Chain A
Amino acid sequence: MTSTQSQRQNGASPEEAVVSLESVRRTYYLGEPVDALDGVSLSLPEGSFTAVMGPSGSGKSTLMNMIGCLDTPDEGTVTVNGQDVGALPDGKRARLRGAELGFIFQQFNLLPRLTAAENVTLPMVFQTVVDEGRRERAETLLTRVGLGDRLDHTPPELSGGQRQRVAIARALVNEPSVLLADEPTGNLDTETGSTIMDLFEELHEEGRTILMVTHERHIAEHADRIVHLVDGQIEEIEDLGGDSA
């Protein structure tokens, strides 16, 4: 599948895309060269909710790391909010990551010694956001995800679902262009998982751009479309007829 095809299918022009990948190749050398991503072109229009599915080793994580500015392509370009990620020096890439991307992990990945509010504040700390208003912003967001009464609890004092809500609040704190969720319900029971997915739906309705990696079909179906990755290539983009732009 070529980039023009995928763009046509997305129904979005590159100018409206918050993130776009252009023929991205990433090769790992594990004894022999392995193409984790083999010429992938994809764009995430503003306000879209995209799920990525595929068997393990299909390149889901690498795709996530590319968009998340944690990795850079060997060939092709990744553009986040108009900036060519591969061309940025390390420090600027870190700043861009903190400002434009919000990560939500399967393992929650909160700092265990910081309170919920402090964890939420952390991305602002690294963006050198002025002190005033930070705490309030964290409180607002934690209240928004239903944890207004858990501000000063540390992660070990919270349940899995609550930790993931803290992580979501943290991902939102810098008003990022894209939310990146990596198996966000993978460590949660079905019931808790579905409340987290409800939260994702709400965020989508607010107009946020979301990319979610999952291997569970029913989780992926919350999205507008599902990108199927196989062997580092996009096999199919399945349109679920959502309200994507």
Chain B
Amino acid sequence: MKLTESLRISWRAITGHKLRSTLTAVGVIIGIAAVIVFMVLGGAFEQNIVQDFEEDDGEPGMWVNTQQVGTGSFQFVTAPIYTETDVENLEAIDGVDFVGPEANLRASQFSIGDTRQTGGFGVQAVSPDQYNSEDLIEGKMFESADEALLTQSLVNMTDGQASVGDQIRVNFDDGAAEEFTVTGIVEGGFGTGPNAAVYLSLEHHYNTTIETPRGTEEKAYSSLIIGAEDASVVDDVKKRATEYFDTESDAAQLKQDDQDIQVQTIDDAVDQITSVIDQLTVFIGGIAGISLVVGSIGIANIMIVSVTERTREIGIMKAVGARKRDIIQLFLIESSILGAVGAFLGVVVGIGVGYLGVTLIGWPMAYPTDWVVIAVVVGLGVGILSGIYPAWRAAKVDPIEALRHE
């Protein structure tokens, strides 16, 4: 029996039961669409983050921080292990423009004007050399102990009320409360700190010390920013910095055995984030894939019903010369059509819903081309797989019995 003939006859069987076929296909459509939607959202989210990073890419540089080993990514350790000596040694490396220590100060509340905010922000002591004047949206760098910079995110927290010249009151966790004059507002967070942040002068506000391996007391920080002189030397600087941390640094000796010193450029960070989002997307896509399994069971179910229902027709076809393989072919093609149509519409619906979602959230659209191909192949595979058993049952029908069948 020719394929085109089977296609025609199977198509007639499908359109003969419009409602049933539609509902069966809907099972596959939902499964495929769910997977595609999550792939679109995941891809868009990723692109959005990558875009943010690339837009942020004002200065060539890298972060140095400590991460817990073996617990997956982004488990930052806040222990201060980067000593003043480390900072000086790093600054001496060729191509290094500045080394800016990042030091978190524990604070839980700030108030500015009528706004009082508890949590959701950070206070960091930073070195002024890590900022260029273009980083400042308005105002200028702090100069003394009672001056502070705010990030735009923090200003947004106050509904835009905070501005240069205002007084901000910060309640530190050790019970102290201090007032600062806002001297400037900067675009975003720097390094690994929170986006909403108050930046204070490192010189005046940071005095955490640690005993170095040499037995002396030195200021120490939980992370560093290394600025490179220009983009072309970033990789070299990274290599030398990594080398330094591997060999003679204080930090290497101060860190715990299960901790790792990471020197990350923006590209590294993007890679790391991308890989986490990818894993997450595939995981959620996998869960969505369960509905595809349900959809395939739907096809199998309807095909079995249809074999029982069409027993007589199978008998007739056998009486006029259909072989077992002809019958198998007919039923397999029928289930494959259901799977393929379901997959095709599922992709269309998935891209559509994904596009809608992405547009509403404001992420850039991502077309998961590879997943579209996978979805169509899986849909077709699902159709064939779920048709195998019903087709085998159909082929086994005894024509004598079938023709007697009412």
Hey, what's the 0/1 contact readout for B297-330 against A, CB within 8 Å counting as 1?
0000000000000001101111111111110000
Q: Are B320 and A90 in contact (CB under 8 A)?
A: no
User: B320: which A residues are within 8 A, CB to CB?
Assistant: 97-98, 103, 122-123, 126, 170
Within 145-193 of A, Cβ neighbours of B (below 8 Å) are at 170, 174
Q: Are B319 and A95 in contact (CB under 8 A)?
A: no
Residue in contact with B12 in the complex, picked from A94, A114, A127, CB distance below 8 Å: A114
Query: Given A70-B400, A109-B312, A109-B316, A97 and B13 touching (CB < 8 A)?
Result: no
Chain A residues at the B interface, C-beta cutoff of 8 Å? 65, 68, 70-71, 90-91, 94-95, 97-99, 103, 105, 107, 109-114, 122-123, 125-128, 170, 174
Cα A122 to Cα B327 with chains together (Å): 13
Q: Are B403 and A126 in contact (CB under 8 A)?
A: no
Q: Are B323 and A90 in contact (CB under 8 A)?
A: yes
Q: Are B323 and A70 in contact (CB under 8 A)?
A: no
Instruction: Report if B399 contacts A (CB, 8 A).
Output: yes
Residue in contact with B322 in the complex, picked from A70, A98, A105, A114, CB distance below 8 Å: A98
Q: Are B1 and A128 in contact (CB under 8 A)?
A: yes
17 contacts between A and B (CB under 8 A): A65-B400, A68-B319, A70-B319, A90-B323, A90-B324, A94-B324, A97-B319, A98-B322, A103-B319, A109-B316, A111-B313, A112-B313, A113-B12, A122-B320, A125-B1, A126-B1, A126-B317
Name the CB-closest residue of B to A127. B321
Hey, what's the 0/1 contact readout for B7-19 against A, CB within 8 Å counting as 1?
0010011001000
A-B contact count (CB 8 A): 67
Q: Are B324 and A91 in contact (CB under 8 A)?
A: yes
Measured CB to CB, the closest approach of chain A to B136, in angstroms, equals 76
Chain B residues at the A interface, C-beta cutoff of 8 Å? 1-2, 5, 9, 12-13, 16, 312-313, 315-326, 399-400, 403
Cα A99 to Cα B319 with chains together (Å): 11
Instruction: Give the most central of B16, B315, B326: most A CB within 10 Å.
Output: B326
Cα A103 to Cα B322 with chains together (Å): 13
Name the CB-closest residue of A to B16. A113
Residue in contact with A71 in the complex, picked from B16, B321, B323, B400, CB distance below 8 Å: B400
Shortest beta-carbon contacts, A-B, top 10? A98-B321, A126-B321, A123-B320, A94-B323, A91-B323, A113-B16, A109-B316, A126-B322, A125-B5, A103-B319
User: B1: which A residues are within 8 A, CB to CB?
Assistant: 125-126, 128
Cα A156 to Cα B322 with chains together (Å): 23
Measured CB to CB, the closest approach of chain A to B325, in angstroms, equals 7
Name the CB-closest residue of A to B15. A113
Query: Given A70-B400, A111-B316, A94 and B13 touching (CB < 8 A)?
Result: no
Measured CB to CB, the closest approach of chain B to A60, in angstroms, equals 13
Instruction: Give the most central of B313, B316, B321, B400: most A CB within 10 Å.
Output: B321
User: B399: which A residues are within 8 A, CB to CB?
Assistant: 70
User: A65: which B residues are within 8 A, CB to CB?
Assistant: 400
Instruction: Give the most central of A70, A99, A105, A112: most B CB within 10 Å.
Output: A70
User: B318: which A residues are within 8 A, CB to CB?
Assistant: 70, 94, 97
Q: Are A94 and B403 in contact (CB under 8 A)?
A: no
Cα A105 to Cα B312 with chains together (Å): 12
Cα A170 to Cα B323 with chains together (Å): 18
Cα A107 to Cα B315 with chains together (Å): 13
User: B16: which A residues are within 8 A, CB to CB?
Assistant: 113
Query: Given A113-B16, A125-B5, A126-B1, A95 and B323 touching (CB < 8 A)?
Result: yes
User: B315: which A residues are within 8 A, CB to CB?
Assistant: 109
Q: Are A126 and B326 in contact (CB under 8 A)?
A: yes
Measured CB to CB, the closest approach of chain A to B309, in angstroms, equals 11
Q: Are B400 and A109 in contact (CB under 8 A)?
A: no
User: A122: which B residues are within 8 A, CB to CB?
Assistant: 317, 320
Measured CB to CB, the closest approach of chain B to A52, in angstroms, equals 17
Measured CB to CB, the closest approach of chain B to A206, in angstroms, equals 21
Measured CB to CB, the closest approach of chain B to A49, in angstroms, equals 21
User: A170: which B residues are within 8 A, CB to CB?
Assistant: 320
Name the CB-closest residue of A to B6. A125
Residue in contact with A97 in the complex, picked from B316, B321, B324, B326, CB distance below 8 Å: B321
